[in-house]
Structure 1
Amino acid sequence: MTVAPGNLIALLAVQQNVSDLQKQLNLYGNIDYVVDEGAELADGYQLPDCWFAARGVARDNLEAAVAVKLPTDPYMHVWFYSWKNLDTNSQWPQKFNQIGSRGLTLLFDNVDKELARILKEFPNTKVLQQPIKIQRKWGETTSALVHDPEGTFVELVSIANNPLVAKAQPALPHHRSFLHFMMNCVNFQETTKWYQAFGMDHDHGVDFRNLHHDDQFNRGIGGREIFMNQMKTFSHHENVWTDCHFLRSPRDPSHMHLELLEYNDSGRGLKDPGLNPTWFQKGIARYCMKTPSFEAAQRTVKERGYKIYIEEQRGALNWGDSQWFFFGDVDGNNGITRDTGVNVTDTLEKSWMFLLVRWEVSYARTY
């Protein structure tokens, strides 16, 4: 149930610490991502000391920060960080400069208002950085930093005279778009309430649906049944997941979701994230992108020499019949590409990647 008023605009970024920034930029460039110059610091401006102190890192160790996005996605970015002292240890609680995806960014109309609401409704939320002003090329940016109930770094951001809102349009069917990134939860119920309180709701388009026995897709096998059978490839068993939410902002016209996943052991069996990524790791573990052509996306990945973990899987969802493959980034992280009429996300840098490529049944949002 939606609790908060419409202060939340959209998911703005997933933050990723990389071992080789240029190789990762090349990989994302090969799947259509471009550098967003608007996210860069204004000319002559430096991040304040409190930005580094709040994150437990030193200014001298940050080599570069680069935000990339798909050209037709209105808001969503992957924000790469390159560190002289990249931490590759497997550990939890996670560190800000630890390899992989350690945090996310949410975009609001008013950060001060949202932080006040969070502390009123969730008083145990740890505030790492009170709101500060950062001068970026897209405009003066207010930024605060908190931990969610999982210990994920969550940046709260607003932009003065926000230029992104006026230009926000949904991606067309022939465009690639970011669909979701997955967060494995230890405190699923609390974490779900925390994110739903921003005004995000579960998208039932991603729920499984049953098929008629003579349906040509999946030979008539029901959506969840064939999906779970396929997932045995990842050592998933039938009841490994207790619940799953695909949350999205009602103000975001894109395909973007935050996927929260609950496990039947309350996440006790999840591994600490580190140098060797796996589906079964705590925190952010996989990205997914929607892409217009399964064959073309897979061919691109193969031609570029990136590892494909699984050639093809399928699932019957409410938003349409979906087809996808998993592939890895330059650090061996897994991903999937789906052919379902919606495109899927690629998960890079110590995360799984997933490209969703075709939806047989058209899926449309009403805004």
Structure 2
Amino acid sequence: MTYTKKKILLVGVLLGIYTYTIVTYFTPWFAEKTYWTAFDYIHFKEASRTPINITDYIHSPLSPGLKWCSSNPFLDSYDRKTVFYMEHIWYKWSETQLQSVYDILTKVALSRNTTDGYITHMAYPEKTHLPCPNKYGLVRYGKSLGTGKVLCGIATVPPSAKCIIYSLGSNNNFEFEQAIIEQTSCQVHTYDCTSSPPKVPIKGLTFHNVCMGEQTNLQQHIFPYSVRKEKLYNNETVIFKRFSQIVQENNHDHVHVLKMDIEGAEYGVFADIFNSSKGINLPFQISFESHWWYHDFYHAILHQHMFNQLWKKGYRFLYHELNPGDASCVEWTLMRVFC
């Protein structure tokens, strides 16, 4: 075979490999992109026919009765078309959620260790989280996973916006609060009826020896750590206040961030917040740790209802991270997109 023929053959082989690669790996991407672009076109075309402004139009079937949360300052830098694109993916996922939950719980029932990682699959399609468009991206406030929380765009809020953060649960560790105050213009209110204020006062931090939510007996039955249980529930001086009451007492029109790490009591807090009276604005961003200890019937039910309510109330997932010490505990960050 001559040199020219070998060269032609080599070029042919390379073209074949190139064509195969394009067809195999890029065609599905183009098809999906075209598919969702078509959906966007339909929705935007429908929006153009309405008498209201497009900036007030965007709705989602996942959050009935709500619209684009224009009052949320963290959404100012969002590309709404991108959010629309994500909504289509999330809606498609929601249609098969029951089957997914059934399959996951079947695996959990057969093995104590399969809870790891599957919890997130029951809450949202984890590879399709809402992006944080801020140029700084997601930022952890507080050095460690145990005390720090990941938030989006907090540092960009100007002092004139009067940024307010409610931090539930401290366990006498104020690393998160200290980081927020040092790196942002936000004022922090920490609520914890089981611990003490910082030994050295922190400027910008107000400590309340109060727990948020309604005091009930449910948590003492499902909380697995008996020592802390005694501390939490056998103290007659413990004070609980509802979210709506706290907001009104503080004279706060809005809460930019609600942070929680309260060892399973987050379910009661969410139940209280979502049952707040009309006129009370829900937090723009929420960062919390959820707890679902292995083979726990109570937490399985609470877990599903909590996340279903978060979807309905307009919250979308920015971030999650499994607790390295116990993967049944998960750190979450959510943004309120519809309100």
TM-score by length of 1: 0.28
Report the structure, 1 or 2, having the larger strand content: 1
Report the structure, 1 or 2, having the larger helix content: 2
Higher Cα radius of gyration:
2
